[in-house]
Chains A and B, each alone.
Chain A
Amino acid sequence: MSTYKVLEIKQSVFENNDRQANLLREELKKNKTFLLNLMSSPGSGKTTTVLRTIEALKDEMRIGILEADIDSVVDADIVAQTGTKVIQLHTGGMCHLDADMTRQGLSGMGTDGLDFVILENVGNLVCPAEFDTGASKNAMILSVPEGDDKPLKYPLMFSIVDVLLINKMDAIGIFNFNLEAVKERVKKINPNIKIIPITATTGEGIDRWADWLRTEVKKWNGK
């Protein structure tokens, strides 16, 4: 007869990832590389926003892009055409990136000399919110066609980001989207969030977004 023994573990499942993420964040800080984790639903305009961001900031800082998708190199191809350093990560079916995958991506790309790296996370409003990637700041895009009820449906995502871009503002007349209601709903769960309405295709609002980034990158890199 075997004797049974209870061993207490008492460990949060996310603890391991949190530890990895903090470690990565410290290293990035030391290397003066600002990492932005950009999250949103599929089709909200992440890649177009990334392209606009590169355009706005490429003359003043060295930028790298990590494209994370379940499959394909579509996004990396588009970004590579701008001449920016880019690497495509495949999550192999996983719905999010964790700190370890982010580290692999960063070391694959080589972050030496890069001031600013954008991690374009997998299009998903659920799982990426739960996994700290080690990013300096977190941002998300909500696009007008998705609807103004999303902060009510996916509160966790809206509660963990530092900045919210509301994209496709040019379509606001076509969709029943109440910008003030979104702001109110989001501020309720995340009082310190910065909200910037943009239209990535036309470039409207990108200057405010670029200003925010410029300030944060400088703060992080101590320049």
Chain B
Amino acid sequence: MHELGVVIEVIKTVEDFAKKNGVTKIDTLVLQIGELSSMIPKYVEACYPAAVDGTLLQETKLKIEIMPGNAICKNCNKVFNLIENNNRCPRCGSQDREILSGKEFMIKEIIAC
């Protein structure tokens, strides 16, 4: 449910972009989803066919790139993956950190023919 509404929004944005740029056929749509974002790639893929039905993207393939959920430790400056390390700096054990990447949900590009 959550993903479907958002994916429909994505399709609208891409259709607008295509119109403005004179694109009539899109081969592939590339999305970037962060590991820390609330969008689950599996569900995005599952609802994609329903979302594109009857749109310009009906025949368009979907490709998802996963962005790592990385943070920098505020205590010792180590950059580490939050999920692999259970939100804790593997070097000093601190939980005080700043998120560098992984929250994004971006429309990266389209491959037009």
Which B83-113 residues have a C-beta within 8 angstroms of A?
104-113
Cβ of A94 under 8 Å from chain B: yes
Q: Check A7–B13 contact: CB distance below 8 A.
A: no
Q: For the complex, count residues of B whose C-beta is within 8 A of A.
A: 24
Which B15-46 residues have a C-beta within 8 angstroms of A?
17, 21, 23, 27, 38
Cβ of B64 under 8 Å from chain A: no
Min distance, Cβ B82 to any Cβ of chain A, angstroms = 13
Q: How far is the CA of A124 from the CA of B105 in the complex (A)?
A: 21
User: With A12-B104, A13-B105, A13-B107 in contact, is A4–B2 under 8 Å at CB?
Assistant: no
Q: How far is the CA of A156 from the CA of B107 in the complex (A)?
A: 22
Query: CB within 8 A of B27: which of A4, A17, A98?
Result: A4
Cβ of A2 under 8 Å from chain B: yes
Secondary structure dominating the interface of A:
mixed
Q: List 25 A-B contacts (CB under 8 A).
A: A2-B113, A4-B111, A4-B113, A6-B111, A6-B112, A7-B21, A7-B110, A7-B111, A7-B112, A8-B109, A9-B13, A9-B17, A9-B107, A9-B108, A9-B109, A11-B106, A12-B106, A13-B9, A16-B9, A17-B9, A94-B1, A95-B5, A126-B2, A127-B5, A130-B38
CB neighbours (8 Å) of B5 from chain A are: 94-96, 127
CB neighbours (8 Å) of A42 from chain B are: none
Cβ of B14 under 8 Å from chain A: yes
Secondary structure dominating the interface of B:
mixed
CB neighbours (8 Å) of A96 from chain B are: 2, 5
Q: For the complex, count residues of A whose C-beta is within 8 A of B.
A: 24
CB neighbours (8 Å) of A81 from chain B are: none
Cβ of B6 under 8 Å from chain A: yes
Which A143-160 residues have a C-beta within 8 angstroms of B?
156
Q: How far is the CA of A86 from the CA of B66 in the complex (A)?
A: 43
Which A1-58 residues have a C-beta within 8 angstroms of B?
2-14, 16-17
Cβ of B52 under 8 Å from chain A: no
Cβ of B47 under 8 Å from chain A: no
Cβ of A173 under 8 Å from chain B: no
Min distance, Cβ B7 to any Cβ of chain A, angstroms = 9
CB neighbours (8 Å) of A11 from chain B are: 13, 17, 106-107
Q: How far is the CA of A127 from the CA of B13 in the complex (A)?
A: 19
Cβ of A222 under 8 Å from chain B: no
User: With A96-B5, A126-B2 in contact, is A14–B109 under 8 Å at CB?
Assistant: no
